[in-house]
Amino acid sequence: MSVTVIPYSRVQAIGDVLFATRGGRIHSFNLSDHKHISSWQHPDVGKQSGADDSQAGPKNETEAPVGAENAPETEESEPPAKRQRVAEGDLNSSAGDATATTEKNGQHKGKKGKGQGKDENNGDKSRMGRVVDRPLITLMTCTEDGRHLIAVSGHDKSVWVFEHDGKGQLSKLSQRGMPKRPSAIAIGPGSQIIVADKFGDVYSIPLIMTPLSPSSLALRAALTAKPSATEPAANTFTVHSKRNLAALEHQRKQLELEKAKGGGAKTEGPDFELSLLLGHVSMLTSLAVTEIQGRTYIVTADRDEHIRVSRYMPQAHVIEGFCLGHKDFISDMTTPLRREDILISGGGDEELFIWDWRAGRILHKTNLLALAREIAPQTTRVAVSALTSLVYPEDGGLTYVLAICEGIRAIFTWQLTAESDLKNPGIIQLPCNPLHMAIAPASSGSVPKLIVAMDPGSNVQVKSLHAYTLTRSENRLASGVEIPIHGQSSDGPEMQVSESDIRNMFYTVENLRKQGSAGEDAGTDSIVEATEEVAIGPAEA
């Protein structure tokens, strides 16, 4: 089994301070002298280290996670995954692993053996990019003033709020466990954290946590209590398809689990303020909160090619419109700096879309696949993993949009013109695959810095964190001098994982592509799946 080290995976710049996540840790670096400042680690990191030390012999990369008190959701706690499109060559078979066979109709079927849920090549559930059984910071953002940093740990579905002293030191203010695993976060007006999750719901929680009083908890329990059920509403006489039967079996297992725990009405709930704002019938992949002409909106994107524009709280139930036109999943969106009237989205399509999002109208498209083929001629499709923007120079300069794609060693750049089109494309080539990027705005007399978290793989000579100055040539962005970032230690033996775990943790965007999305039945498949989820969803969807 090949072993590698967990790379840095998320970056956030606040002035001259860079925050970077690595596994269950958040490190801070000074971008002026390039030195490491401090680090914070998730409480479960120590538990993970102890668990690793107690295991004898090498770990089988296809072995199912051993149960623990703080273990993440098991296979039984989630509904059956949607069918995934399987690319040629994606399925590999070996002794002890799942075997894959190609049917005469061209569809791949994986036969998964016991304990193979973690391998990304075995079965639909692992191809959805399940969170590996270890502490991992999956999302990170900050408030506009830089005084607070917000992070999400995927394995325990927790939102963490830290106070930042402005010099790279963090103080934990709160930890709040969400009902389902967050998939996107944003900061909204009124000191609210807006959280989207993998089941399609969007919640708001206050930035500064105020625990609910005992009377409020009792009232919430009374209002949310549901009578215990003994059998699902559906049965084998009303359900016939294989996927619906699997969902029905999932519901029965959930009910049996509740009975084993004591049954009765479910009255448990969070002990903090939590407001449900809106919901989709598909997994949410990106979230933006934007203000224009004195009104604030929540823009949400999902796996089923939809972008929805909703009013901000307390009227988040009001839908202002949709931006429809994507043919494949949407994985990220951005409203470029100083151009809040424009939305740029990307995902599994060949193009980036430029929208007048209030009117729900496509203004322009730009071909991303063609640009990717300039450095990787064999590329057949792209999966956008991050979008961002910058203004260069800051005083009355031009607006630029940057994109990275999963598995492509480059950052793609464009100038956003006054006509809301993307022109002057550029390519910044990288030594290895980018995982995330951030812009450190220019300080007085300097130029903006581009920070990239990369996956060096087994190449120990390449660092995971890179920073570059940005230059312009004929209105195209280019990388200038590389800035060293010191103090990139490996953190400890618990950071060593298999290459399979690296794939499961950081290469999940392409797995959003549904079976048939590039074929003739893509639209029908999407509608059928959404209908089935609503008809007989899990007991706790």
DSSP string, 258-316: HHHTT-S------SB--EEEEE-SS-EEEEEEEEETTEEEEEEEETTSEEEEEEPTTST
| Measured distance CA(277)–CA(188) in Å, rounded | 13
* Residue 245 forms part of a structural domain: no
What is 477-497 written as a DSSP string?
Answer: EEEEEEEP--------GGGEE
Q: What are phi and psi of 229, to 5 degrees?
A: -105, 150
CB 120: neighbour CB atoms within 10 A?
Answer: 21
pLDDT tens readout for residues 428-479:
999 999 999 999 887 766 788 999 999 998 887 889 999 999 988 888 888 8
What is the pLDDT at residue 127?
37
Query: What whole-number distance in Å separates Cα of residue 440 and Cα of residue 95?
Result: 48
Per the structure, the count of domains in the chain is 1
Look at residue 466 and tell me if it is in a domain.
yes
Q: What is the mean pLDDT of residues 193-202?
A: 94
> How far is Cα 303 from Cα 383, in angstroms, rounded to an integer?
12
Q: Does 496 fall in a domain? A: yes
For the segment 277-298, what is each residue's pLDDT rounded down to a tens digit? 999 988 999 999 999 988 999 9
400 within domain boundaries: yes
Q: What is the CATH number of the domain that holds 208?
A: 2.130.10.10
Query: Residue 122 CB: number of other CB atoms within 10 A?
Result: 25
Q: Tell me if 506 is assigned to some domain.
A: yes
Question: Contact 149/156 with Cβ under 8 angstroms?
Answer: no
Distance CA 16, CA 505 (A): 28
Please give the Cα distance from 469 to 483 (Å, whole number): 7
**Alpha-carbon distance 496 to 530, whole Å?**
38
Strand order in the sheet with 361-367: 330-334, 342-347, 351-356, 361-367
pLDDT band at 75 (very low <50, low <70, confident <90, very high): very low
- Two tokens, residue 459: 């190449």
Cα separation, 377 vs 209, in Å, equals: 51
Residue 246 lies in a domain: no
Report the alpha-carbon distance of residue 271 to residue 219 in Å, rounded: 12
Rounded Cα distance between 539 and 541, Å, is: 6
Strand partners, 470: 479
Please provide the average confidence, as pLDDT, over all residues in the chain: 78
496 to 48, 181, 297: CA distances (angstroms)? 12, 24, 42
Half-sphere exposure of 385 (CA within 13 A, CB side): 26
On whether the pTM is more than 0.85, the answer is no
Is residue 115, in this structure, part of any structural domain at all?
no
Helix (H, G, I), strand (E, B) or coil at 53: helix
Instruction: Return the pLDDT at 4.
Output: 87
- What pLDDT digit, counting tens, does each position of 361-414 carry? 999 999 999 999 999 999 999 999 999 999 887 767 889 999 999 999 999 999
In three-state secondary structure terms, 204 is strand
For the chain, percent helix, then strand, then coil, each to nearest 5? 15, 40, 45
Distance CA 455, CA 44 (A): 23
- Which residue range forms the structural domain that includes residue 439? 3-46+131-217+269-512
Measured between alpha carbons, how far is 48 from 446 in angstroms, rounded to an integer? 42
CA-based nearest residue to 384, from 423, 326, 338: 326
pLDDT at 202: 95
- Amino acid in the structure at residue 93: S
On the question of pLDDT at 65 being above 60, the answer is: no
Q: How far apart are CA 298 and CA 286, in angstroms?
A: 11
Task: State phi, psi for 268 to the nearest 5 degrees.
Answer: -75, 150
What pLDDT score was predicted for residue 98?
34
Q: State mean pLDDT over 138-151.
A: 95
pLDDT at 103 over 60: no
Given the structure tokens 């709930």, which residue do they identify?
269
Res. 212 pLDDT band, cuts 50 70 90: low
With cut-offs at 50, 70 and 90, classify the pLDDT of residue 245.
confident
Token digits for 115? 């304990």
Residue whose token pair is 């400042």: 37
Query: What is the Cα–Cα distance from 148 to 165, expressed in whole angstroms?
Result: 9
β-pairing, 295-302 with 284-292?
A: antiparallel
Q: How sure is the predictor about 50, in pLDDT bands with cuts at 50, 70 and 90?
A: low
Between 309 and 535, residue with greater pLDDT = 309
Question: 103: which DSSP letter?
Answer: -
Name residue, tokens 């200038």: 480
Q: Which secondary structure element, helix H or strand E, spans residue 10, and what is its range?
A: strand 8-14
Q: Is the pLDDT of residue 204 over 50?
A: yes
The pair of three-digit structure tokens given for residue 490, joined into one six-digit string: 């490996």
Percentage of the chain modeled with pLDDT above 90:
51
The pLDDT, as a whole number, for residue 495 is 81
pLDDT for residue 454: 95
**The pLDDT of residue 418 is above 70:** yes
